Amino acid sequence: MSFSTTVSSFSFNLSNHYYFHRRDREASIHRFKPNPFSLPSFSNLTLFTFNNNNNHNYASFIPHKFHSPKFEAFATNTDTLESLQSSDVLFNQTFPINRTELVEGKIFVRLDQGKDVGNWELTVGCNLSGKWILHWGVSRVDDVGSEWDQPPRDMIPPGSIPIKDYAIETPMKKSSTSDGGDTFHEVRIDLKPNSEISAINFVLKDAETGAWYQHKGRDFKVPLVSYLKEDANIIGPKKGFSFWPGALGQISNILLKSEVTHDTVQDDNSGSIDPKVQTSQLEGFYVELPIAKEVIVNNSISVSIRKCSETAKNILSLETDMPGEIVLHWGVCRDDLRWWEIPPGPHPPETVAFKDRALRTKLQSRDAGMGSAVQMSLGEEFSGFLFVLKQNDSTWLSYEGNDFYIPLPSSSSLVIGNREDQSENVQSEVTEEVDQEESTSAFTDGIISEIRHLVTDISSEKNRKTKSKEAQESILREIENLAAEAYSIFRSSIPTFSEEAVAEAEAAVESKTILLPDLPPQVSSGTGTGYEILCQGFNWESHKSGRWYMELKEKAAELASFGFTVIWLPPPTESVSPEGYMPKDLYNLNSRYGTIEELKDVVKAFHEVGIRVLGDAVLNHRCAHYKNQNGIWNLFGGRLNWDDRAIVADDPHFQGRGNKSSGDNFHAAPNIDHSQEFVRKDLKEWLRWLRQEIGYDGWRLDFVRGFWGGYVKDYLKASEPYFAVGEYWDSLSYTYGEMDHNQDAHRQRIVDWINATAGTAGAFDVTTKGILHSALERCEYWRLSDQKGKPPGVLGWWPSRAVTFIENHDTGSTQGHWRFPSGKEMQGYAYTLTHPGTPSVFFDHLFSHYKSEIATVISIRKRNKINCRSTVQICKAERDVYAAIIDEKIAMKIGPGHFEPPSGSQNWSTAIEGRDYKIWEAS
């Protein structure tokens, strides 16, 4: 997904009852009917005088893409607005808008002759503001791969700091020697002839933001010899960079004039170089490379209200200093429910209706050319004004993911007259401006306080004896909801309370056995018990036998002996494709995997050995039975004989007559319109039927990118699964074909989907799969720690909802899309089976030569009671080794590098050791 280069954020959380359900598409931002469930009134957070007791699903800011409206003038009387006589200001509020803009600059690299004869000087600089640090090292001629070493002491500039034994960090100093006098930051490194050094490697770090800048996703590399292998990150015109004339002089090509012939260079399999080979003669060069940095831009929007003395209407004025064309998406409401509606005219110029529920008005540029403004007249019958802002073509600005809300004064609540009297009355409508961070912090502290209160209440001996098990379970479910609530706020753009508080909230519901030994572990559809271990019970070829259910039934006891608690079965329905992912008649469960009776039989067999069963539910799309009059396959048969109203309108292949999609379309089959009530009703009945008729315990949900997560919440509430996990498969971030280190945007999209389900479902941690893949394939284990020292996938943000995996039917088997690095599978399982989250094991790996190793690691996990909320302490995340301690019970390392768990109060003993991985247990 391509985000706008401008993103805005606010530091305040308001009510959540707003419809943000069409990500990256035409979205309706209007309030829907409140959920009947409400949290206890543990905090009344007010910006204006309205209650906020139903806040139970705080959405993070999401930039929405809207189709640009064609502006048509409504019946508008601008003269009326301009001539209105009004009294003093009754309301005036300025809202800060902190936008993030992408500023482009350049990194330059120059190599030229030093002051001393025979010496050279390498200059690295950047013309963007910031506190820049050069993180650098050298490669030696006998190094293998991309290893770094510390440079000789005489090369290290003053003020540098050594980073362990392989790098140096040198602060870049300000300079202004360019032709235009521009200020930039640079580092100069003296190079002396040295036959052992083959290249200088570096990356840039902005100490103010903690951001790292690489070249095409990899380290910059300046070659000092001519026999380096072709590499995409080598700096030099021979590698195809684009160049511009620089401020420091003309660009000259880097000429590596080798004084040795090819016969003198060994090119064996190890990549080593004969140490006797002499370095090449260098000539200077100058290269400029583009760089982009996010900077904070502070803007605001001011809203004021006056009362017209002639008409008694409210005159509302909005002004903003934001640049560019700003569109106001607005409406009014009549009561505290805040249902959007369109007020009667006249309306401001350049106003157009949006779906008969809101208006869109283009703000007019102010005379001074700075910002824009609009003025409108609203009747006394309305109690509030609601709006969001659209900047440019794709960026929507809201108030922490919610609509701006402005209370409108009425004649009964305000007395026009003395200014002091007015101020008192306005105070009844508006609280004094408070520090937003403190307000939000107080609110989140209220959530944590409520969780602690509930935990104390249910943990006390007296209450445990007096409360029924049902009442205790109800309280624990409430704690789970509050924990998800706290997490959602924590993941907003400006965190307002510590990660430790979130961990405490999650830990409060780790297991019922902690608080209530007499009760079984708490079960939630998003986590199961929290101790689940999932097996994918098929691959892409499993349908070919025609009796897969019976073959799997024979393995039920063996799978139970390994320690699996949940198994995921293939899609059960009749399907156009034999694998089952192009369903046709949802109630026909005779598939290529077996008959409906065989399906019931295998489910029963797994239940008998204590394993729960997940059905693979394909809800996003469905293949039609018949063509319409235009020859398009969009009419359905079977028990659910839908017509084209069940198909989304914005998929051009199937001529649907439903609403637009709430997600991304899967173009191979008609995409189902889940906004249709009859569709949701039928799907809920089908899921309940599968639970009762087949005995499924939960769901693996296919292609959930195709529809809003709120619909999933509805389906799960109706079918009450033991466990549910969604396949939100999204592309990771790459630069010039190299995976970026920072994948926060990717995992944020997965977390946003989980949050849309209100935490009722987990999601496959595709982020962790991708980062593990890249780290092991390239021996870059530093990728396994994010900028805050946490696991870099969903695992690091919302571990209880992360279902980790290294391979599945799409990536493995004969499909082989993004197959895990061969021979390194056990390193992947040593990571996922020891870390929090819910680990999944692929069938092909389990029944291979890895069987005994996987079984051993599973037994280690179960023996030490590692669960989906376990804690991770990352001890090492370096070039060739990653190591961590989990729950202070297990230590593990992967990679060829060295690690031993620290000796102290715990004694560590080796539990298993294999190729480039090792796991210890604390005794």
Catalytic annotation, residues: 702, 727
Per-residue tokens: 335:
């009561």
- Alpha helices, DSSP H only, in 233-294? none
Token pair 């521009």: residue: 182
Nearest to 895 by CA among 841, 813, 821, 809: 821
Please tell me the distance from the alpha carbon of residue 174 to that of residue 695, in angstroms, as a whole number. 69
Dihedral sign of CA atoms 511, 516, 520, 523 in order: negative
The DSSP result for 383-422, as a single string, is: -EEEEEEEETTTEEE-BTTB-EEEEPP-TTT---S-HHHH
Q: What's the gap between Cα 154 and its chain centre?
A: 45
Please tell me the distance from the alpha carbon of residue 61 to that of residue 402, in angstroms, as a whole number. 8
Please tell me the distance from the alpha carbon of residue 17 to that of residue 57, in angstroms, as a whole number. 8
Nearest to 108 by CA among 36, 162, 175, 199: 175
Q: Which helix (H) or strand (E) holds 825?
A: helix 825-832
Per-residue tokens: 671:
């995409």
Q: Which amino acid is at 886?
A: I
The DSSP result for 284-316, as a single string, is: -EEEEEEEEEEEEEEEEEEEEEEEETTT--EEE
CB neighbours of 284 closer than 8 A, spacing ≥ 6? Answer: 110, 111, 112, 113, 252
Please tell me the distance from the alpha carbon of residue 281 to that of residue 257, in angstroms, as a whole number. 5
Q: Which amino acid is at 26?
A: E
Long-range interactions of 109-112: CB distance < 8 A, separation 24+: 109/220, 109/222, 109/235, 109/285, 109/286, 109/287, 109/289, 110/248, 110/284, 110/285, 110/286, 110/287, 111/191, 111/222, 111/254, 111/282, 111/284, 111/285, 112/284
CB neighbours of 838 closer than 8 A, spacing ≥ 6? Answer: 527, 528, 532, 533, 534, 725, 762, 802, 803, 804, 868
The DSSP result for 683-716, as a single string, is: HHHHHHHHHHHT---EEEES-GGGS-HHHHHHHH
